[in-house]
Chains A and B, each alone.
Chain A
Amino acid sequence: MSSEPLLRVENLKTQFFTESGTVRAVDGISFDVHEGEIVGLVGESGAGKSVASMSLLRLVDDPGEIVGGEISYRGETIFGLEEGPDGELREREEMLSESEMRERIRGREIAVIFQDPMETLNPVFTVGGQLREFIELNRDLPSDEAKAQAIDMLREVGIPDPKERYEEYPHQFSGGMRQRVLIAMALACEPNLIIADEPTTALDVTVEGQILDLVDDLQDRYDTSFIWVTHDMGVVAEICDRVNVMYLGEIVEQAPVDELFYETNHPYTNALLDSMPRPDRTVEELDPIEGVMPEAINPPSGCRFHPRCPDAREVCTRVHPEPLEVDRADGYPHRAACVKHDVFDVGYDESVPLEAGDEAETGVGETGTEANVDSDSPLEEDQASTDGGESER
């Protein structure tokens, strides 16, 4: 369990240099993926999940750029910087070149399942032809063997009449069937790691359930590791072994899945869990997170979640917490980036609660049950912007 991980990401930073400023889409995240594991990457829209996962393949489009950190896969350096003789950062010698990435890593070692099955298949080619192209490319098989493999893979992911369907075009497939094809494409090249970028978001729940079962089943059989990017805590609970919760480009909580759900240690994770629709609660009882995620161009000072956090105190606007180990479960650390935990020791207990006053304080651990949190949110955001200037980041 504590052997060398399949993929190790350390302090990864990906930024977009736009005209209105630098967007810190991914701002120093660290996590690892072990063999045969499904690791979740969870967060709201815009948290940087997709950018983070594309960074792993070095597929960040201009004006985006990976500016720091280290990514290693099975001892090979996908990305790494070092200080050159002139003091400038430069790419490390052993870092894989672009053509090595293309020929050895992308598709062969790390494959991707994309979010929208409607858009991810080329409309002008047959489904089978595209699947065959990927197999030919990544497994060096001749055309006819690749075709046989492609048909096998279609059968494997549960497509009826794979021989006939092989010749059909994407528009002749339903959404769920296309997603199965995409999974087949990812699996067909027998990668060790699959990045699934919200693969069930565009599907209805029954199909989603089928796809999750399928992935679970295939994962058992092929022992492939997954990075599962999603915003759906329900999916996380169902499929993941360990979870990373992302907020505004940072990982705020990191824990094995059961631990995350039962011993939640970060208010943001709590809020995410509370905003999940559940059959035993009505819409009125649902607690969505207040406000929207701020722009990553100009993140709030201190803890980035504090403008929306029900537990926020004055100290949160000043201290920017790194995820630290607050607990241990199943041999993995449980990390949380929230100063309310004792390991931080920055004076959270003595600090004055922000605006919401006493009520907010009692809400620790059971976020946002107070009705007045709602009305306070504009004030909180106000607070964030006035405090923004004077604080250390």
Chain B
Amino acid sequence: MATTESQLEEQEPGAPEATTDDEDVEARVGWRYTLAKVKRDATARIGFYIVAIVLVIAAFAAVDSNLSRLTFGALSDYRAAQALPFFEHPTALPESGEAQRNVPPAFVDGGTLSHPLGTDPQGRDYFTRIVYGSQVSVSVGLVATAIGLIGGTIVGAISGYYGGWVDDVLMRAVETLYAIPPLVLIIVFIVFVSDGSPDIRYAVIGVGITFIPVFARIIRSRVLSVREMDYIEAARAAGVKDRNIIRRHVIPNSFAPVLVYATLQIGVTILIVAGLSFLGYGAQPPTPDWGEMLRIAHGRYMHSNIWLSIWPGLAILVTIMGFNLFGDGLQDALDPRIKN
């Protein structure tokens, strides 16, 4: 029941013309039902709230770049730039003289409430940077997972539906991709396409591509059983084109397991991109990415200011834990075999 209805939710983006108002209502009811089930599970509930909070923070950071001033008003002297699109963040340094470099967090001796988490060696408010970091991480997690999800769904559905040599060619290609250690593959990809100036965009695309195989294999295994269903045969007998059969009948009925996997994968993505940034292949200074912040903090200021490493590390830990707990809860809620 829950599975079917979450599929309803999911088929909408793929088949917008088929969506009537009533289907909308039906789908939302199903979605709400699933969420209610997730909420009954204590750990999943924690995950859900963490994800919700991170998403809200990230959304605010996107809407108003003066977040820090909005929330802490006069407490912060950080003058952020105007609202900027994703991946571009206020870079202006405080005017010299005003800048207070290496301020410790507010609860430590020498700290000040105007910089709740202190400032970095350039005098930038660390709280603001962590908040912006959430925007980078969340968008990175969503975009890279979406690339893997969409690419994997297309490859897996075509492979499973047609079978034969199409299946062989696609699956062997996917397995080749699967056989290379992901981090090596991503770094090689970034080096290859970035032409010497790595950027977080390349990291996202690279991570997304390495996710295609696993999504493709999950979808394919589902499609193999779905394609034997009579409604597929009925659609063929009615003269529906293969493309439309895949889009309207095969994918919506195969989607539930990958959807769950995708929520789990968002956390992994954030971690990998943070790792890439840490290695210098992802976000570049002055982008306030958590991995990038860790790299700077770890490389140069590990001994002089340990707080610079602790905050982004904590942020990564909490966010990933949130996505994982939520993904686990969603998996349980959508699995009809587990009744609670």
Contacts and interface: CB of A to CB of B under 8 A. Distances in A.
Given A59-B233, A121-B231, A126 B238 contact: no
A62 B168 CA distance: 15
Interface in B226-249: 229-231, 233-241, 248-249
B12 to A, nearest CB: 11
A127 to B, nearest CB: 12
Nearest to B19: A129
28 contacts: A57-B237, A62-B164, A102-B239, A103-B239, A106-B236, A106-B237, A106-B238, A106-B239, A107-B238, A107-B239, A108-B239, A111-B237, A112-B237, A112-B238, A114-B237, A115-B230, A116-B230, A120-B233, A122-B235, A122-B253, A124-B8, A124-B11, A125-B18, A126-B22, A134-B238, A137-B238, A138-B238, A138-B239
Contacts of A280: none
B7 to A, nearest CB: 5
Interface in A117-154: 119-126, 129, 133-134, 137-138, 143
B231 A107 contact: no
A114 B234 CA distance: 7
A107 B245 CA distance: 14
Given A101-B239, A105-B239, A122-B252, 13 more contacts: A62-B163, A102-B240, A107-B239, A119-B231, A124-B7, A124-B11, A126-B22, A129-B18, A133-B18, A133-B248, A143-B17, A185-B238, A189-B238
A167 interface: yes
A241 B17 CA distance: 43
Interface in A317-332: none
B88 interface: no
B76 interface: no
Among A106, A107, A124, find the residue whose CB has the most chain B CB atoms closer than 10 A: A124
B175 interface: no
A121 B234 CA distance: 8
Nearest to B231: A122
B250 to A, nearest CB: 10
Among B231, B233, B249, find the residue whose CB has the most chain A CB atoms closer than 10 A: B231
A361 to B, nearest CB: 46
Contacts of B240: 102, 107, 133, 137
Contact of B237 (A62, A107, A125, A169): A107
A59 B236 contact: yes
A78 to B, nearest CB: 13
Nearest to B7: A124
Among A121, A122, A137, find the residue whose CB has the most chain B CB atoms closer than 10 A: A122
A251 B288 CA distance: 77
A182 B235 CA distance: 12
B4 interface: yes
Nearest to B8: A124
A133 B235 CA distance: 10
B239 A124 contact: no
Interface residues of A, number: 35
Nearest to A166: B22
A34 B11 CA distance: 43
Contacts of A133: 18, 240, 248
B272 to A, nearest CB: 33
Interface string A54-71: 000101001000000000
Nearest to B4: A123
A126 B241 contact: no
A67 B239 CA distance: 23
A129 B20 contact: yes
A379 B7 CA distance: 56
Contacts of A129: 18, 20, 23
Contacts of A138: 238-239
A120 B236 CA distance: 12
A86 B335 CA distance: 58
A112 B234 contact: yes
A146 B141 CA distance: 42
A112 B237 CA distance: 6
Contacts of A169: 26
Contacts of B231: 119-122
Interface string A293-327: 00000000000000000000000000000000000
A124 B252 contact: yes
Contacts of A119: 229-231
Interface in A88-107: 101-103, 105-107
Contacts of B248: 122, 125, 133
A43 B83 CA distance: 74
A378 B236 CA distance: 43
B1 to A, nearest CB: 9
A108 B239 CA distance: 8
B237 A59 contact: yes
A114 B238 contact: no
A330 B8 CA distance: 54
A102 B253 contact: no
Nearest to A167: B22
A133 B253 CA distance: 17
A126 B5 CA distance: 12
Given A59-B233, A129-B20, A122 B238 contact: no
B7 A120 contact: no
B249 A114 contact: no
Interface in B86-120: none
Contacts of B23: 126, 129
Nearest to A117: B230
A59 B7 CA distance: 28
Contacts of A124: 4, 7-8, 11, 252-253
Nearest to A113: B234
Contacts of A106: 236-239
A19 to B, nearest CB: 15
A126 B236 CA distance: 19
Contact of A137 (B8, B22, B234, B239): B239
Among B7, B20, B239, B248, find the residue whose CB has the most chain A CB atoms closer than 10 A: B239
Nearest to A103: B239
A163 B235 CA distance: 23
Contacts of B17: 143
Nearest to B18: A129
A167 B19 CA distance: 11
Nearest to B240: A137
Nearest to A128: B20
Given A62-B164, A126-B23, A120 B230 contact: yes
A129 B19 CA distance: 9
B143 to A, nearest CB: 27
Contacts of B233: 59, 114, 120
